Structure 1
């Protein structure tokens, strides 16, 4: 029985499809949403940066409000975490630390230059994970 799932999250349609899949397919599981912040990606246009070094430390992404709304619609609660580092290793480290039973993630997240430079996060997580990984396609 799955008791704890990790859902890597960005603001992509595929990530939200993965969240919906996790919440509907595993109604009894604890769900932790994790967003990986990569300084390299921000430098290549994949995210925003600020001149104030303290501003982003505790700030949560705007799309976390949408995550809460999706969970509320299903009368579920989700834990949310922000981790720093290259996305795939940061996600896998958090999965190990949180002792999750599985990872549910979107097939693709951000696109464009950041995806080409950084590679496929979903593929890297699936190849290196020690727990089952469910990859949910982007909705049509």
Structure 2
């Protein structure tokens, strides 16, 4: 089985990686991090320029994925890692389709009520759009 773990630098994201390693130690696990060049701090894109901003996001992603590789190894789990560019939920679903993924594992902050409506939920959008089963870990 080919599993895809969508990782952000949050406790639920790390919980998703730990779940994949603990529950599927013998399966193929790919961990991806989506960088969204349209998501930046106030004025960052205008100040740095879109190319520099994307480069910095990709460098941060590589550091995150290196940490993921180390943490997976500590769990006795071998993973592949990749950075994808785009709006996170769309990028995760697109990757799953293009790479014959059997299941997506993603962390969720578990927001409810107004904060969920206001902020949206990447995990929920992935679950709604994905053509494969999605496991949401909290």
TM-score tier after normalising by the smaller chain length: 0.7 to 0.9
Q: CA deviation at 1:99?
A: 0.6
Higher share of residues assigned helix:
2
Residue segments in structure 1 that go unaligned for 5+ positions in a row? 110-114
Q: TM (normalized to structure 1)? A: 0.79
Alpha-carbon RMSD: 2.6
The residue aligned with 2:32 is 34
Q: Aligned partners of 2:124, 2:42: CA distance in 1, in Å?
A: 21
Q: CA deviation at 1:75?
A: 2.3
The residue aligned with 1:112 is none
1:24-72 CA-partner distances (Å, limit 9, x unpaired): 1011111111111112222469xx7683726448635222232112111
1:104-139 CA-partner distances (Å, limit 9, x unpaired): 110139xxxxx87762100000011110000001xx
Larger Rg: 2
* Number of residue pairs matched by the alignment: 128
Residue segments in structure 2 that go unaligned for 5+ positions in a row? 111-115
The residue aligned with 1:21 is 19
Change (3 A) 1:116 1:38: farther
